[in-house]
Structure 1
Amino acid sequence: MLEVFSSDQCLTHRLARYFGDYNAPEQCGHCSVCHGQIAHLPQPPALEPLDNRDFQQVCGDFIHKHQDFTGQPPSAECLTRFLCGISVPLFTRLKARATSGFALLEDYPYAQVRAWVQAML
């Protein structure tokens, strides 16, 4: 996320791309970058490639909880939200925050996590 805000490109455009929206305009005209004020932030630590992760170990507990509660496996979108730590009402009923793996991949771009989850399903 720090990479998004330290970019020399429009912040709105970069934020939209971070969340997988590639249709946002390249210049919003109202963010700090569009006004010529580019932030200079320290580089974040390198992230381990997602392919090095064990999908079943990361998601297994949540998949079982979801299946027991709803009668069906979670969708790729649901798993991505779980791994990125984005709460939805269902997660409260499942006590997802207390489940191992919740927000484990919150430092990764959402679209990257979603692509990894889809490839694993």
Structure 2
Amino acid sequence: MFVSITKVLTDTQSKAFVEANRPHYPEMDIKIPFVTVREMLNYKPREYAQRVTCPVLVVVAGDDGVNPPDQGIALFESLTSAAKQLHVEKAAGHYDMYHGQHFESSVGKQIDWFREHV
């Protein structure tokens, strides 16, 4: 059983992204296996975060309508790693993190983090 991507996307940022990009990328009009949707709904990363002890960087888009910032911050707070870092990219929506100034800023933070920890 498959579900149309337009039925899965309930937030305004994702709907706007798909509508704006579908004419240019018709392959975006996909169907997702229902089992994938079920697994996404049941996924609880905070439970697993409590077991993480290695260095971690959590990057959060400050105005994310897909993955609300409070969820990313709660994930960060759940980490037991002594070397954890949180970067909130202020005024960035979910899809803003993939291009432009927010991409440049967040990737810069990630590169700095990798230089320090890898």
TM over 0.5: no
> Which structure: greater strand fraction?
2
> Which structure: greater helix fraction?
2
TM-score, normalised to structure 1, is 0.30
